Amino acid sequence: MTESGVVQERVRPFSNTVTGGWKGRLARVVRLLGDLQLLTIERDLRAVMPSWRGDVLDVGCGSSPFKHLLNPDVTNYTGVDIADADGKFSYKNSFSVPFDGVSLPFEDNSFDCILCTEVLEHVYEVRSLVGEIYRVMRPGASILITVPWSARWHYIPFDYFRYTPSALNLILKDFADIQVFARGNELCVLANKAVVLQLSMLRGSWYLVAATALLLPITAVVCGVLVVGAHLSLFLGRGNSADPLGFTVIAKKANEPELSN
């Protein structure tokens, strides 16, 4: 913490940008093995996005890390993010459309599918943005949202909220067919915290780095055991879904004319 009372983020989230070639694919696989947040997000998205057709809008697209999950037949993909996403979140995407974080620069009923991954926690006027998303969706359009639950305070200070399934159902109350799924379990949370702690120590003060180096054989084994256990629990579908890494929401646009505030 600095003298002004602002917490300094020792380990910022790593870029999710997907690069091509065998090196890029290998790096992605290694990343997914250790990054359980990203793994569970991509797993849920992979179950839905390949079936999408029509016009797709990625709200808070960042570097469009999940665009590769779309069916190749989807040719009309639009990403939108705040104008200063590069400065605040270190995102670089020359294909994204800038907006003010609330009002989407599109006409009513413009899109068939909406993607919004790990964005709502960074939106202060969340109901206003959800209303805008609803407005630009065509009748029957689908929306896929992910939000973190057990995640550190990140992109400080632009991280405002954590949402329970109860809150998500209230925020999306005018949507239809709302389904909320837990991503991961308490073992995934523990493994994820252990990995982040290891990275934080490696990027900390010299004495923390020295201590980490001395303890590396032990901490690496502990992290490895926890990560393997977490992957096994995901494969078996075991664990407490009330204490997950985050939540995934699937819903559709209802036939009301607009979302009430």
The count of other CB atoms within 10 Å of the CB of residue 64 is 20
Range of lowest pLDDT (175-179, 189-193, 199-203): 199-203
Q: CA-CA distance, 85 to 88, in Å (whole number)?
A: 5
Share of the chain above pLDDT 70, in %: 87
Q: What is the mean pLDDT of the chain?
A: 87
Which parts of the chain fold into alpha helices (H)? 21-34, 36-46, 85-89, 126-136, 165-171, 186-202, 206-236
Amino acid 40: pLDDT:
96
**Residue 27 DSSP one-character state:** H
The domains located in the chain, with CATH, are 21-184+245-253 (3.40.50.150), 187-236 (no CATH)
Residue 145 and residue 165 in contact, taking contact as beta carbons nearer than 8 Å: no
Largest CA distance in the chain: 62
Helix (H, G, I), strand (E, B) or coil at 112: strand
Amino acid 213: pLDDT:
74
Residue 1 pLDDT exceeds 50: no
> Model confidence at 7, in pLDDT bands (50, 70, 90)?
low
Q: Does 217 or 135 have the greater pLDDT score?
A: 135
Q: Kind and range of the H or E element at 252?
A: strand 246-253
Closest CA to 81 of 107, 54, 58, 113: 58
With residues binned 3-state (H G I as helix, E B as strand, rest as coil), the percentages for the chain, rounded to 5, are 40, 20, 40
For 51-76, the pLDDT digits (tens) are 999 999 999 998 899 999 999 989 89
Residue 225 pLDDT exceeds 90: yes
